[in-house]
Structure 1
Amino acid sequence: MKLQRLLAIVLKELRQLRRDRLTFAMIVGIPVMQLVLFGYAINLDVRQLDAAVLDQADTARSRELVAQIEATQVLTLRYRVSTPQEVNDLMRRGKISVALILPTDFEARLERGDRPALQLVVDGSDQVVQAAARQLARFPVPDAAGWTQQVTPIEVVNFYNPERRAPINTVPGLIGVILTMTMVLFTAIALVRERENGNLEMLIATPVSPWELTLGKVLPFVGIGLVQVTVVLLLGKWLFAVPVRGSLLELYLAALVFILASLSLGIFLSTLARSQFQAMQLAFFTFLPQILLSGFMFPFAGMPKVAQWLAELLPLTHFLRLVRGIMLRDASLFELWPALAALGIFTLVMLSVAVMRTHKRLD
């Protein structure tokens, strides 16, 4: 071994790396993104959960208690309702995660101390919300002379997951995570492989339009994605008894829109990559923010506003709202239309940009 030859090879690789702008950018971009996400955006302290309050007592003491709970900043009381049905509707539609209910005999219950004085109704389909509810359940309710407090003054009522089983929360989310990993990766690599093998140039020579070429390459993967959804649903039901409380048809429609969104992202990435290795790098580059910011692993409400705004641009964030709403809360697509519309807009934007880039390459 000669040091001169070894040095020549090292210099050659460094020059190649300098010319490969995408890889060079990832050398810096990946550690920066991980540092920002883990050190700043990911916050395990749950704050600002969207909540509603039903104060049937409407006394000075009940209003004071509501204000004290809101001052903890764990809850953001966005809705003040007058009936339990309004609480059910808001929670089913995903507008709130927690509801604070004070009964008409609130002060009498405090004085007797033999029954919980108020209720926290929580969305049990989210484990993070359950943890926040347990934290609030220990909130010190103000007492006075003569109040016995024989029982815990705050009762936690867990909707949709009364047994607090973890698979109820994780299995619906895994549908989105699995589709994200496979659809984006498969599509990006497959299209780049066609270009590397020269097959794409032969298709370009035909009268096929850019839209026809793009959609034709994508549609076969739609069936693969639906098969994956079916496998996860069957295993979730068989192994973990995860229910599907809503419409199975609407669940598959939501999955179909998300599959198209993921495929459109894969197509866009394929227009940036020049090799299969670069396509794989870009695909994994998009996995990290989606998994960390979507609410699958960490509390969405605990993230800074900037991180939440970024999460709203990612398809997995909206699909988690859809799949958990349909499977666990028996919500309809009509009630969850903002998330469905966001996926549709993301798909159209990504496909349009990818087609425009493909057209430019044809020139």
Structure 2
Amino acid sequence: MLERLKAMLIKEFIQVLRDPRMRFVVFVIPAVQTVIFGYAVNTDVRHVATAIYDLDNSSYSRELAGRFLKSGYFDLEERVSTDARARELVDRGKVKLVLRMNHGFGERLSQGRPAEAQLILDGSDSNTAGIALSYAAKIAASYTAELQADALARAAGAPQTGLPSVELASRAWYNENLESRNFYVPAVITNIVFIITMLLSSMAVVREKEIGTIEQVIVTPIGKGEFILGKTIPFVLIGFIDVGLIALVASFWFDVPLRGSIPLLFGATALFLMSSLGIGLLISTISRTQQQAMMSAFFVIFPAMLLSGFAFPIENMPTVVQWMTYLNPIRFFLVIIRAIFLKGVGMEILWPQFLALFVLGGVILSGAILRFKKTLA
């Protein structure tokens, strides 16, 4: 029994390690991924893109804004002067928080009365919004304590009728109750469609090789482009069906609002499928067995999901890793799908993401087709 087990173990090790590409997949790629994930997987929220809307422009309002920016949690994106500009920045996702101080903010504090500063949060990212709100509350509380201590020191024992304080009035847009499921459920559509369509397409060509029918395809009159289309169109239809089903579940079961255009959602899905199917076909053309294709697909899936902004803010990642995420189609589709569901914005806002998906999808799919031609040569 032990001898048979030993022989089986030797055979399996030889089977796995005799292919140089499989050795690379098994040993090198996990080490590289560990290094990347060690930097990228960070749940701390820092460098929150912030806009300052200071209508008072007093020493008090400037001091409060300065404390926000010096805290290390908030990065100034722009100082705005109109409500329209503040809304535009939030709509486009350029800022996650707007700090607004109205006229009379400094006057009320100088008179020893409470003054209100408004926080406008992008609630479509409930995790970041909730943590940013707690940071802002601590900054306001610290500023209030210093103002009150200064007021007491100046009074030198004289009776006080009131003490200055800063009160934050927060308002979350697009996800008023900061429910995390409104943030994560739309993203599930992206991950499920990516995983299913990429896994299916990664088996498409390699299955023909493994069962020995690829030679029959070579000698038939069918063109290589036609062969690729025949392999991918079924998966495209499956992707559309999955998007529709999951969108129905998200809307009617989880009560996630779908405020945007449904045709726009399916248009973005079509562009996204160009990338997912292209990656799958590329894996299929360079793999010799379905086992290799499956393992290679999973080594693509997990980095793509973790480096997409699905769970961890991209802004928290090192600059080099942030640049790497621009090669990830999930990053752009996540922005689109969350904006369509929660913000209800259209092409005038989302065109950069649509363009990025079109370019990535075209390059990846073209590379897969070219590689397929070389394989058949």
Which string of whole-angstrom CA distances, capped at 9 and with x for unpartnered residues, describes residues 313-354 of structure 1?
111111111111111111112311111111111111111111
**TM-score, normalization: structure 2?**
0.89
Answer yes or no: is 1:47 the counterpart of 2:46. yes
Give the equivalent residue in structure 2 for 1:181: 195
Matches within 5 A, 1:285-296: 285-296=299-310
DSSP 3-state at the match of 1:297 = coil
Give the equivalent residue in structure 2 for 1:105: 104
Q: 1:335 pairs with 349, 353, 373, which one?
A: 349
Q: Structure 1 residues 116, 192: CA separation in 2 closer, same or farther (over 3 Å shift)?
A: farther
Q: Which runs of 5+ in 2 are unaligned?
A: 153-161
CA distance in 2, matches of 1:194, 1:267: 12
Give the equivalent residue in structure 2 for 1:244: 258
C-alpha contact 1:92 1:330 (8 A) present in aligned 2: no
Report which stretch shifted further, 10-19 or 300-309. Answer: 10-19
DSSP 3-state at the match of 1:335 = helix
Q: Identity rate of aligned residues, in percent? A: 37
Larger Rg: 2
Query: Alignment RMSD, CA only?
Result: 2.1
Q: Structure 1 residues 112, 299: CA separation in 2 closer, same or farther (over 3 Å shift)?
A: farther
Which string of whole-angstrom CA distances, capped at 9 and with x for unpartnered residues, describes residues 107-136 of structure 1?
134356765531221110102321222222
Answer yes or no: is 1:193 the counterpart of 2:193. no
TM-superposed CA distance for 1:210, in Å, is 2.6
Give the equivalent residue in structure 1 for 2:151: 145
TM-superposed CA distance for 1:48, in Å, is 1.5
CA distance in 2, matches of 1:57, 1:107: 7
Answer yes or no: is 1:212 the counterpart of 2:261. no
Q: Which runs of 5+ in 1 are unaligned?
A: none
Count of residues in Structure 1 that have an aligned counterpart in Structure 2: 361
Give the equivalent residue in structure 2 for 1:62: 61
CA distance in 2, matches of 1:129, 1:313: 24
Report which stretch shifted further, 10-19 or 60-69. Answer: 10-19
Which string of whole-angstrom CA distances, capped at 9 and with x for unpartnered residues, describes residues 125-167 of structure 1?
10232122222222122524166256x6222211111112122
Answer yes or no: is 1:203 the counterpart of 2:209. no
Which string of whole-angstrom CA distances, capped at 9 and with x for unpartnered residues, describes residues 174-221 of structure 1?
110111111111111133212322333322223333333222311121
C-alpha contact 1:110 1:117 (8 A) present in aligned 2: no
Give the equivalent residue in structure 2 for 1:136: 136
CA distance in 2, matches of 1:164, 1:332: 23
CA distance in 1, matches of 2:352, 2:170: 29
Answer yes or no: is 1:28 the counterpart of 2:42. no
TM-superposed CA distance for 1:289, in Å, is 1.0
C-alpha contact 1:119 1:155 (8 A) present in aligned 2: yes
CA distance in 1, matches of 2:127, 2:245: 26
Which amino acid letter does the alignment assign opposite residue 63 of structure 2?
E
Which amino acid letter does the alignment assign opposite residue 21 of structure 1?
P
Give the equivalent residue in structure 1 for 2:177: 163
CA distance in 1, matches of 2:69, 2:221: 63
Answer yes or no: is 1:232 the counterpart of 2:246. yes
**TM-score, normalization: structure 1?**
0.92
Answer yes or no: is 1:262 the counterpart of 2:276. yes
Q: Structure 1 residues 206, 241: CA separation in 2 closer, same or farther (over 3 Å shift)?
A: same
DSSP 3-state at the match of 1:108 = helix
Q: Structure 1 residues 222, 115: CA separation in 2 closer, same or farther (over 3 Å shift)?
A: farther
Give the equivalent residue in structure 2 for 1:126: 125
Post-superposition, which runs of at least 4 consecutive aligned residues in structure 1 deviate over 6 A?
none
